[in-house]
Amino acid sequence: MNTLRPSLLCQRLIPLLAIASWSTSLTAQTLPSVPPGFRAEIVATGISPTAVSDIAIVPAGFGSLGGQVLLADRANGSVFTDGQILIVDPITGTTSVFVDSAQIPDPSSLAFAPGNSFGSNLYVNNGVAPPVSQQQGELFTVDALGNASSFGQPNPLGYLWGGVDIAFDGTGAFGGDLYTGSGAGGAGDCVSRVSDLGGRALLFHNIGTGPYNGSPNGLAFGPGTGGFSSDLFIGLTLSSGIGPPSGIYVLDPTGLRTTFLLTDGVGGAPSSVGKFEFASGGAFADLLYAGSDLGVVAIDAAGQTTLFAALAGGGTINCVAFDGTDALYFVDAAQGTLFRVVQIPAEVAPYGLGCAGNNGPLTLASNLPVIGTNWNLTSSNVDSGSPIAITFFGNAVVNPGLPMLTVGFDAPGCNIYINTILASLSGNNAGGSATVTISVPNSALLAGAFLTAQSVCLTSSNNANLLTSNGLAATLGY
């Protein structure tokens, strides 16, 4: 029987994956495009279109809500006086109201305190707290039961409108305070700071030299890794007034502002950015991810941008959030769909049963088929009279299996568990065990490729002189 070298098997997989990806796109046209090696998933639908202004992932220890997704939904009804904070189960997609507008109207930004003197509750900015004529925002804290309490006011004296994002200084270099942004007013926009005592914010950095409408709609402290400083990064979108052009800027502890990236639409840069968050390594590397008019952009420490996720048909993404190093969440503002992007994981699972020979049932098992490593498939209980075991590869599960008796082989209890033969590899029998190895190339194009496998060996225990193993379903990934 012919065998196929592992490298040739992987060469066959790449065009097969391309066909599978094209086929998938026909039935999943609403999924965003993402780089090879990642996949986009729909978490929840039916969220208020154009209304979600921020996302936060609930940390472990916040009651029983760890891992849930919170959304600041600003426009459930009338502007400024309505809105709600939604909570989404990331497994089922079930969405419910966590905090209603009676407690926090017009929620604009969400952030969990890092467990320092601010505690570990959720902090929320709102755009304008009633009465609307006052044009004053408010800071709130929210406990794990959804109970909200007033904490302070994000706009310093002389500044109007409410806060637009929240960032906590976790290093102490910026006084250990909470930082936020205040919207347009006669004194211009600004970045302000609030101590752990709460109360009214103090001015930290004024934006522009006069009336300026370019509110800091993104704030995040740099990680101090990956070439990024640990200073405060702010995103500005200038719509009127005199001041810095739209872009991402960096503030040092003295409030000195330097330019990091101009969002001028030149050289692949977006024309505007929304809220952003730093990845903490893993599959997403040490990069800054931002919502923008292009989609989600990944930005390195030199300010170079790469489009990471684009909505089908284009469209703006307002905000992003990471669940540790494993998943990136964002909302399609136009359609009201919550998406999650994950690196495609390597998976393997047995199915069916091998038929018994002189040493027991022939069994096939393997390690995870991780990109860039060796995938070892081992056949166990190989009959002593069989010099080799042959492992065949298909691309679909057949379960229940097709009995060998129905295809003319007198091998009771033996079944075929794969749909076709793409390739086969043989391994020498060494004490009842035979292993074949595939060196999986380090190519993201292979991530998501699905294979099935099944082994056969010779035996004297049935008239067909053949044993078949269980099936093995495998997805190449990371």
- My answer on whether omega of the bond before 32 falls inside 30° of 0, hence cis, is no
Q: Which residues contact 149 (CB under 8 A, 6 or more apart)?
A: 140, 141, 142
Instruction: Tell me the C-alpha distance between 122 and 104, whole Å.
Output: 12
Is residue 212 scored above 80 in pLDDT? no
Instruction: Tell me the C-alpha distance between 282 and 113, whole Å.
Output: 23
Read off the pLDDT band of 207 (50, 70, 90).
confident
Read off the pLDDT band of 366 (50, 70, 90).
very high
* H or E element in which residue 468 lies: strand 466-475
Is residue 295 scored above 50 in pLDDT? yes
Q: Which residues contact 57 (CB under 8 A, 6 or more apart)?
A: 67, 68, 69, 70, 321, 322, 323, 329
Per-residue pLDDT, averaged over 287-311, amounts to 96
Is residue 195 scored above 50 in pLDDT? yes
Is residue 353 scored above 80 in pLDDT? yes
pLDDT at 188: 62
Strands (E), 404-463: 415-418, 423-428, 433-439, 450-458
With beta carbons less than 8 A apart as the criterion, state whether 457 and 354 touch: no
Per-residue pLDDT, averaged over 106-113, amounts to 93
Per-residue pLDDT, averaged over 333-347, amounts to 92
Of 100-109, 160-169, 206-215, 443-452, the range with the highest mean pLDDT is 443-452
pLDDT digits (tens, 9 = 90+) for 216-264: 889 999 999 999 999 999 998 776 556 688 899 999 999 999 999 998 8
Nearest to 369 by CA among 434, 441, 433: 441
Beta bridge partners of 376: 437
Per-residue pLDDT, averaged over 160-182, amounts to 88
CA 25 to chain centre: 20
With beta carbons less than 8 A apart as the criterion, state whether 137 and 129 touch: yes
pLDDT at 11: 45
Is residue 92 scored above 80 in pLDDT? yes
Is residue 15 scored above 50 in pLDDT? no
* H or E element in which residue 182 lies: strand 178-182
Nearest to 468 by CA among 300, 352, 329, 306: 352
Per-residue pLDDT, averaged over 55-73, amounts to 95
Q: Which residues contact 26 (CB under 8 A, 6 or more apart)?
A: none
pLDDT at 7: 40
Nearest to 55 by CA among 263, 290, 282, 249: 290
Read off the pLDDT band of 209 (50, 70, 90).
low
Is residue 53 scored above 60 in pLDDT? yes
Is residue 22 scored above 50 in pLDDT? no
Per-residue pLDDT, averaged over 61-84, amounts to 82
Compute the mean pLDDT over every residue in the chain, rounded to the nearest whole number. Answer: 87
Beta bridge partners of 357: 360
Is residue 211 scored above 60 in pLDDT? no
pLDDT at 28: 43
Is residue 412 scored above 60 in pLDDT? yes
The proportion of the chain whose per-residue pLDDT surpasses 90, expressed as a percent, equals 69
pTM for the full model?
Answer: 0.85
Backbone φ and ψ for 300, nearest 5 degrees, come out as: -90, 180
Is residue 215 scored above 80 in pLDDT? no
Is residue 365 scored above 90 in pLDDT? yes
pLDDT at 244: 80
Task: Indicate the range of 137-141, 338-342, 418-422, 446-450 predicted with least confidence.
Answer: 137-141
